[in-house]
């Protein structure tokens, strides 16, 4: 079964991945004919663009009565084996793919946030109350990110607390 990186980035659709079967004579087949079933000696990761993975998964180590790649060799369910190697191929040939996917997720999250803010307003919260919760959450996120990478954590936390206090003590809208 082929894998598709299905997040709406058109160039990714030129790279359908799959575990390709390697036959006794060294040729490959994506099919599951009777000949293939008998002559398959193993599998490697493959892509529709012609790329082939380096790792060979021997049928001796991964028994298969049908000649099709076992789940452990396919790796789709666990994000391992031939599937994982194909994903690394995608990362190399489309280094912007992660940017696309994260930006797309951000759009989704922003829409969810918009809906949640609307629901909170309908439930009776004021704009400053909602803003305070949002800013506090952003401060927590910024603080945890900074604590991993940079030493300026204290400054960021303090400025965040100030802004939250400012909202709480400010005039209600
Ligand atoms: Zn490819």
Mean pLDDT by 10 residues, the chain (173 residues): 92 96 88 75 95 96 93 96 98 97 96 96 95 90 62 40 36 42
Residue 171: the pLDDT is 42
Both tokens of 163, joined, read 């802004």
Half-sphere exposure of 133 (CA within 13 A, CB side): 10
Residue 29: the pLDDT is 81
Query: Rounded to the nearest whole angstrom, what is the distance from the C-alpha of residue 59 to the centroid of ligand 1?
Result: 24
Residue 72: the pLDDT is 96
Residue 145: the pLDDT is 63
Query: Rounded to the nearest whole angstrom, what is the distance from the C-alpha of residue 164 to the centroid of ligand 1?
Result: 48
C-alpha 54/C-alpha 47 separation (Å) is: 12
Distances (CA, A) of 149 to 138, 152, 153: 17, 9, 9
Query: Rounded to the nearest whole angstrom, what is the distance from the C-alpha of residue 113 to the centroid of ligand 1?
Result: 35
Residue 37: the pLDDT is 83
Query: Rounded to the nearest whole angstrom, what is the distance from the C-alpha of residue 51 to the centroid of ligand 1?
Result: 6
Q: Are 143 and 164 in contact (CB under 8 A)?
A: no
Residue 33: the pLDDT is 66
Residue 157: the pLDDT is 40
Judged by phi (left if over 0) then psi (alpha if -120 to 50, else beta), residue 41 lies in: alpha
Query: Rounded to the nearest whole angstrom, what is the distance from the C-alpha of residue 75 to the centroid of ligand 1?
Result: 17
Query: Rounded to the nearest whole angstrom, what is the distance from the C-alpha of residue 49 to the centroid of ligand 1?
Result: 4
């Amino acid at each position: 079964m082929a894998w598709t990186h299905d997040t709406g980035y058109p160039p990714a659709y030129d790279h359908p991945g799959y575990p390709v079967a390697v036959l006794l004579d060294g040729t490959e087949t994506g099919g599951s004919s009777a000949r293939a079933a008998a002559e398959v000696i193993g599998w490697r990761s493959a892509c529709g663009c012609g790329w082939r993975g380096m790792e060979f998964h021997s049928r001796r180590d991964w028994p298969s009565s049908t000649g099709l790649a076992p789940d452990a060799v396919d790796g789709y369910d666990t994000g391992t084996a031939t599937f994982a190697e194909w994903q690394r191929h995608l990362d190399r040939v489309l280094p912007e793919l992660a940017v696309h996917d994260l930006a797309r997720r951000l759009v989704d999250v922003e829409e969810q946030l918009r809906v949640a803010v609307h629901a909170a307003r309908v439930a009776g919260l004021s704009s400053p109350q909602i803003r305070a919760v949002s800013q506090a959450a952003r401060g927590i996120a910024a603080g945890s990110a900074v604590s991993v990478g940079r030493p300026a954590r204290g400054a960021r936390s303090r400025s965040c607390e100030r802004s939250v206090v400012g909202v709480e003590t400010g005039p209600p809208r």
